[in-house]
Amino acid sequence: MMDLVLKNARVVTPFKEFNGWVAVRGERIAAMGDNDDPPRAERVIDCQGKALIPGVVEPHTHLGVSGRATHAEEVQSETAVATLGGITVVFEHLRRKDNLYREIMPSIIDEVSPILHVDFGFHLGITKHEHCAEIPECAERWGLRSYKLNIGGYGKEQNPYKAVVADNALIYDCMVNAASITPQGIVMTHCEDVALVDHFIRVVRDERGGGSGGLKSWNEARPPFCEDLDMRRAARLAKLTGAKWYVPHTTIDTGPGIAADCYREGTQVVLETCPQYLYLTCEDPYQVGALGKVNPPIRPREHVEAIWEGIKNGLVRVIGTDHVPLEKGGKSIWEELPGFLGMQVLLPIMISEGIHKRGLTLRQVVEICCYNPARTFYLYPRKGTIEVGSDADLTLIDMELEAECSDEWLQTKVTNVYKGIRFKGWPVVTVCRGSVVMENREIVGKPGWGKCVQLPGDDREPALDLSEAIWR
């Protein structure tokens, strides 16, 4: 007897697609088949031909930085709404510049563990050389192998989150220490040249009187070549150190080409982009204005299409949302905080814009949203796939369901730049480790079900298959 069976499904992974069923016992996938005779189960969900894919692995959120709620409150609320997006693993960019991580990680893990709706992981923000020295200990004690540097993005003119900008010495130190552990650590860099950003903000805001005052001005104040320059700098340091290099929120048309150059030179790199850079433009017809302020900025249409092309040719390999639950409004583009929600719309944008409009296959969407992030952060094959023995993380999608992104539909009280926009293709059931946590757009999971996925000594099988990691 199984605990759960999902039958009459279109089961889709990056490698195969079949019409059949998936059976769950406990927290894992116990069996699957393409016939009409699934095993008996305590509960059976008739998928009625809808698409069943692995749970989405979301590699990029910022929680507890908005000032509107505590860290714990945002972890609980946002891991809950993640289920609406078919997400079963959420990674947070944790930054504690005034502390050593060896001192605070036990209390942070204790803080979040009772309130997680889905599984959870951390990237550590590196702000000083003492953090670099901690990398081997953080990897051994808590399984933390990804480290974030702001090598740009926040300068003297615009730094509302008080980010510490890393110089070349800190980047190098972090990369050397990350490359020294087994399996190797992953160094993430926010790339926007700080001095140039400060210069252009002053030019556009002060000398040009603020420009248009909208997203076009924000793009002019942080032009694409600022991102390009810092990507090339980080690529050079990654090559010198042999580090694994991850680029979050890639927005520029030259980004995929930089990745291609890295591959030719033997540098290991993974490019991430975000749904906002695949849909919104700084000439946005929906006129979201300052609500759409984000770093790096929303770009012109030619950059949007270049990133889509990078997805198609395999140079942009991961989608994250850069989700920040902010309450915004009433301020100018120069005063507003950067960031907005993204987890609820990640899959709908990939399906509506990628599959329905641009001809991507669902297998490609599964690869970039599930399989690749799991491989990047050493979670595969426990996550990111539908195989016997893997965690029963599953998302059922109605590919034809069209809905407007109202606050009610997204179940959010924070800034929703997608309000009034309609997308086609939405998750209708989310299963995290065998438990139904969202059904028919209702969050039914309970806080405390999710687990911290990186902790060593986890007795859940299967063991990680590092030979299948995305890094080569």
How far is 432 from 444, CA to CA, in rounded Å?
Answer: 11
How far is 457 from 155, CA to CA, in rounded Å?
Answer: 41
pTM, two decimals, is 0.96
Dihedral (C-alpha) 167, 169, 172, 175: value to the nearest 10 degrees?
Answer: -70
Q: For the residues 359-372, what does the mean pLDDT come to? A: 98
97-139 confidence digits (pLDDT tens): 889 999 999 999 999 999 999 999 999 999 999 999 999 999 9
pLDDT band at 316 (very low <50, low <70, confident <90, very high): very high
Q: Report yes or no: 425 and 348 within 8 Å, Cβ to Cβ.
A: yes
Q: Report yes or no: 375 and 468 within 8 Å, Cβ to Cβ.
A: yes
In this structure, which amino acid lies at residue 138? C
What is the 3-state secondary structure of 179-196?
Answer: HCCCCCCEEEEECCCHHH
Among 145-154, 230-239, 244-253, 441-450, whose mean pLDDT is lowest? 145-154
How far is 368 from 370, CA to CA, in rounded Å?
Answer: 6
DSSP state, residue 340: B
**54 φ, ψ to 5°?**
-65, 155
Token pair for 335? 């005063």
Among 97-106, 278-287, 381-390, whose mean pLDDT is lowest? 278-287
Every domain of the chain and the residues it spans? 55-376
- 436's enclosing H/E stretch is strand 435-439
Per-residue pLDDT at 462 exceeds 60? no
Total residues belonging to the chain? 472
Find how far residue 407's CA is from the centre of its chain.
21
Q: What is the CATH number of domain 55-376?
A: 3.20.20.140
Strand partners, 402: 424
pLDDT, the chain, mean: 93
Per-residue pLDDT at 214 exceeds 90? no
**Interacting residues of 377 by C-beta distance below 8 A, sequence separation 6+:** 57, 59, 91, 121, 145, 146, 186
pLDDT cut 90: percent of the chain above it: 86
Tokens 């032009």 appear where? 223
Strand partners, 236: none
Token pair for 348? 């709908």
404-435 confidence digits (pLDDT tens): 999 999 999 999 999 999 999 999 999 999 99
